[in-house]
Structure 1
Amino acid sequence: MAESSSPSLSSKEDLIQLIKRFGAYLTVKMSNLFSISFHNLDSRSVGAIAGLALAIVFTWRMFRSPGAPQRRQPKRQAPSTSNSVGSTQANATSTPFGASSSSEDLRTQIADALFQPVKPTLGQVVRQKLSEGRKVTCRLLGVVLEESCPEELQKQVTVKSSVLEALLEITKFCDLYLMERVLDDESEKKVLLALETAGVFTSGGLVKDKVLFCSTEIGRTSFVRQLEPDWHIDTNPEIVSQLARFIKYQLHISPNRPERSAANVFSSPSLEQFFGCV
């Protein structure tokens, strides 16, 4: 008996694992589809969404539909005591103990596996947070670099290790420009060397020509106005306020959670926290 039950148990576990993979596939596909703007849907995207909808409806109907109806038994006269005992023993032999509960447990496990939530990837989070923006401008001090003022750049330049993952993910689908105010040419060289050493230029999405330097804060504002990005990331509240009328979205990096100056201005203690990296 133990040998016959083992293959059945193994097949149930295999079925559950198969349903888990199918559920994860459905969840990721639906997340990717719904992150796409409906204005950009083509016929292939519509067909994919329709296919997923049919698959979900089919799965729901499969779990909702009851078992096959039993044939109606004709009425019989009350059996004798000996026949009742024999019938009871026959039913006990033909119906394994706990078969119904095992079937319900299996159905519950399959349903849980199919609709188990899947954590989105960092790439999906970045795209959703940036609302499918294609061009991003970002200052260096206080966002990508540990230093907070141009005077500190004359001594040393340190790239935040915690921000690298999010920064590289942005470069995969966004045209990213980094910019900063510096006091001399030597500071520029130190910044570029620090970024190169940290591996910022290795992904191919960001090149040195897209790291811009200026000598005044007004110069950085002018850079942003000329580039016309979908998102600008900055730590200076005055620049954020000045650009609110011209830039679609802004992210104000500040440790103190300032009051929202405009509907299109968001705030976060750091860039990595905005994307949930820490």
Structure 2
Amino acid sequence: MSDEHSNEPLLQLIKKFGGYLSLKMSKLFPISLRNLDSHSVGAVAGLAVAILFTWRFLRSPSTPRRPPKRQANAPSSSSISSNANLTPSGLESYLEDSQTQDVDDFFQPPTLGQVVRQRLSEGRKVTCRLLGVILEETTPEELQKHATVKSSVLEVLLEITKCCDLYLMERVLDDESEKRVVLALEDAGVFTSGGLVKDKVLFCSTEIGRTSFVRQLEPDWHMESNIEVVTQLSRFIKYQLHIAPGRTERTSSANIFSSLSLEQFFGCG
């Protein structure tokens, strides 16, 4: 029943258009429509329907409608509801907070551990002199009286032991100096807080012996306060750091770096 009622306006329109067309054609042709048979009337009605649909097609918009584009990676309604309660102002605030958080993460300064790994170029083995670098003392004669670990170097030393195989070495004049150095390192917490063990603290009686230690270990980095030792090792060690307190000596070798202190080289001084 609903289909018949919906088609009634169309049937009425066809009848009216057919009558109008018959009137016009009767004037153009000397034949009365009353004298036409059923086939002729059907042909006229079919022509009327064809003209009607052609007329409606020509009136329709020339540009077809496109379906709306689907947005990729659109947030689900549940996630928006939980963060912004589906209100325009809340959604705007949520987006602004997200962008601010991304910017803060991008500009956050690197940690000391990240700086250490970057400056050491991901080196895996490091050798380091004790006098003038780890210890306050600068000569073997001073070690016969006392040994003091620099408090400013402890944090850097700990980070080096986390990512590298670290060896400490020094020339001493007697066994008492050796014990004094090991005790100072132990009191500073070097053996408990980091990855350093007492077996990796090496002692010798000459500078030649200390240079030999470095060459045998073949480290990626050697840290030294004696420029003569640095020069001798420049052909054998990939990178060296010359610690020169109070001086700004520069070397011609591209694999030798210079700094006032170990902690300053890593941005802590």
Same fold by TM (over 0.5)? Answer: yes
Which of 240, 260, 265 does residue 274 from structure 1 map onto? 265
Q: Does the alignment pair 1:114 with 2:102?
A: yes
The offset of 1:169, in angstroms, is 1.0
Instruction: Describe the superposition over 1:136-160 as per-residue Cα deviations: whole angstroms up to 9, x where unpaired.
Output: 0000000000000000000110000
What residue is the counterpart of 2:213 in the other structure?
Answer: 223
Instruction: Describe the superposition over 1:10-46 as per-residue Cα deviations: whole angstroms up to 9, x where unpaired.
Output: xxxxxxxxxxxxxxxxxxxxxxxxxxxxxxxxxxxxx
Whichever residue aligns with residue 133 of structure 2, its letter is V
Instruction: Describe the superposition over 1:49-80 as per-residue Cα deviations: whole angstroms up to 9, x where unpaired.
Output: xxxxxxxxx99x99xxxxxxxxxxxxxxxxxx
* Alpha-carbon separation, structure 2, partners of 1:233 and 1:248: 12
Identity value in percent: 73
* Alpha-carbon separation, structure 1, partners of 2:164 and 2:252: 26
* Alpha-carbon separation, structure 2, partners of 1:152 and 1:125: 33
Unaligned runs of at least 5 residues, structure 2? 1-71, 76-87
Which of 132, 138, 154 does residue 164 from structure 1 map onto? 154
The offset of 1:103, in angstroms, is 7.8
Unaligned runs of at least 5 residues, structure 1? 1-57, 63-98
* Alpha-carbon separation, structure 1, partners of 2:229 and 2:176: 25
The offset of 1:260, in angstroms, is 2.6
For residues 264 and 123 of structure 1, do their structure 2 counterparts lie closer, same or farther at Cα, with a shift above 3 Å needed?
A: same
Q: Is the 8 A contact 1:241 1:261 kept in 2?
A: no
* Alpha-carbon separation, structure 2, partners of 1:202 and 1:261: 39
Q: Is the 8 A contact 1:126 1:275 kept in 2?
A: yes
Q: CA RMSD in A?
A: 2.2
Which of 134, 140, 161 does residue 144 from structure 1 map onto? 134
* Alpha-carbon separation, structure 2, partners of 1:173 and 1:158: 25
What residue is the counterpart of 1:75 in the other structure?
Answer: none
Which of 231, 240, 246 does residue 241 from structure 1 map onto? 231
For residues 261 and 214 of structure 1, do their structure 2 counterparts lie closer, same or farther at Cα, with a shift above 3 Å needed?
A: farther
* Alpha-carbon separation, structure 1, partners of 2:122 and 2:248: 25
What residue is the counterpart of 1:206 in the other structure?
Answer: 196
The offset of 1:111, in angstroms, is 2.3
Matched position secondary structure for 1:201: helix
Q: Is the 8 A contact 2:134 2:153 kept in 1?
A: yes
Which of 242, 254, 268 does residue 263 from structure 1 map onto? 254
* Alpha-carbon separation, structure 2, partners of 1:198 and 1:126: 20
Aligned length: 184
Whichever residue aligns with residue 258 of structure 1, its letter is E
For residues 205 and 190 of structure 1, do their structure 2 counterparts lie closer, same or farther at Cα, with a shift above 3 Å needed?
A: same
Q: Which protein has greater RCO, CA pairs closer than 8 Å, 6+ apart?
A: 1
Whichever residue aligns with residue 179 of structure 2, its letter is K
Matched position secondary structure for 2:190: coil
Whichever residue aligns with residue 199 of structure 1, its letter is G
* Alpha-carbon separation, structure 1, partners of 2:187 and 2:267: 25
Matches within 5 A, 1:171-182: 171-182=161-172
Matches within 5 A, 1:47-196: 107-116=95-104, 117-196=107-186
* Alpha-carbon separation, structure 1, partners of 2:95 and 2:258: 45
Q: Is the 8 A contact 1:164 1:200 kept in 2?
A: yes
Q: Of the two, which has the highest radius of gyration? A: 2
Structure 1 residue ranges, 4+ long, deviating more than 6 angstroms after superposition: 102-106
* Alpha-carbon separation, structure 2, partners of 1:207 and 1:261: 35
Matched position secondary structure for 1:146: coil
* Alpha-carbon separation, structure 2, partners of 1:204 and 1:164: 10
Which of 245, 248, 251 does residue 241 from structure 2 map onto? 251
* Alpha-carbon separation, structure 1, partners of 2:148 and 2:258: 23
